Structure 1
Amino acid sequence: MDEVEVVVAHAERATLRVGDVFLKVDADRARSDAEVEAMSLAPVPTPEVLWRRPPVLALAALPGTVLGRLGGPTTGSPAAWAAAGAAIRKLHDAPLPPRTGRAGRSTAALTAELDGACASLVTDGVLPADLVTRNRRAAGAALRPWTPVFTHGDLQIAHVFVDGDEVTGIIDWSEAGRGDALYDLATFTLGHEEHLDDVLAGYGTDVDLDLDVIRGWWSLRSLLAVGWLIEHGFDPFAPGCEVDVLRARM
């Protein structure tokens, strides 16, 4: 009999693996609806939906292995990172989905959320004020007008599967929708900026690729994530993770 593996679990949702089946449990049906819809529209490989009985969504396992993890080593070759860049570009070039995703939050809302997070990090003594101030300044580059594209919204490297130099699938689409293309590129290279050139080689340079904006998203995403991760039992201070990303900007 297959064992039940807890892939990830926190107060908002949980993912379990039983053999070649992943069971995603999410109390927020809207998030699950968004995931199923996005996978049906995305022009890149996604997991097969086996069945759905809210709050549970059953997905088939993808072939291959994850490209890497934040804070851990990466397994892919430069060609695999370039292939991932090409897959991201294919997604961004697709027709716009009906929903606005996580990468599509308004600049005003994002600025308010960021300033609140920065104040809490300093007031609660989580991070030094100079570290927060420097990264808040860098994050400002991401707070600018942008043209919406079809974004994944949570494109961590652990969500991209490869087999050799081929992308075999992308998982976790609950935050997908209209959004900023550079948010996806920054999320994908967060903590692994040494692979940014490979990703951009596959993505293509015939579009507006402002590296300061990508770096700004590294700072912005990390500043927002630290408090949430601590609250939900994760460690943003682990080597190579969000706090190290912030320190690298110093």
Structure 2
Amino acid sequence: MKKETSPQPTKQDRGDITREKLLTSSIDVFGRYGFDGASTRLLAETAGVNLQAIPYYFGGKEGLYIAAAEHLASMILGHVAELRTAIIERLAQIDHDGKAMEPTEARELLTQMAQRMVALFVSRQSESWARFIIREQMEPTEAFERVYANVMGPMIGMARRLIATILGETAQSEHVRLKTMSFVGSILVFRMAHAAMLRQMEWQTIGPDELEILRRHAADLVAALGSEKAGR
């Protein structure tokens, strides 16, 4: 009986693998050392590819940096794509019907968003993403524009509209914009201050039990929106 052999990877397959290695590893390298500190040699060695792969596939280090930012945005979107699409379609339906969303539904959707983001932010894979984004927050470049346009801006925009519905205000008001950024910050803190959070909670790591506590906390944050008005 003739032994079957696995098909050999084509030149295009090998090229795709090389690009993927560079994109994935460069997010971590750029996040750790910054654009200036990340040499092309370090980027290539970390990815385990030939040095000439960077100019061949990306035109140079700057091209790789921009492509890494777009790849980062794509990976984040991959984790929230289903929920993001559901919320976008729901908002579009409401706009088409000319009806207002009920605050109860807005809270439910915002809670799902917050819980999904908390779970993502405390995951180990988000460490390198956070380093990259924090650097871009401090000194924005074209890479920040790509990440913001593709994932941060749209997600914040959806949250702002839901918060506006909860508060019974217009999404364009400065109050709602600030309220939204404060809310987003209360979720981001679980990644940006991860070590401090673990120390404060006296946790060694984030396991299923700890994640469930954080999910309940995210729901509490949503439930608290508008409570200052109710107490007046």
TM-score tier (shorter)? under 0.3
Normalised to the residue count of structure 2, the TM-score between the two structures is 0.27
Between structures 1 and 2, the one with greater helix share: 2
Between structures 1 and 2, the one with greater strand share: 1
Larger Rg: 2
Normalised to the residue count of structure 1, the TM-score between the two structures is 0.25
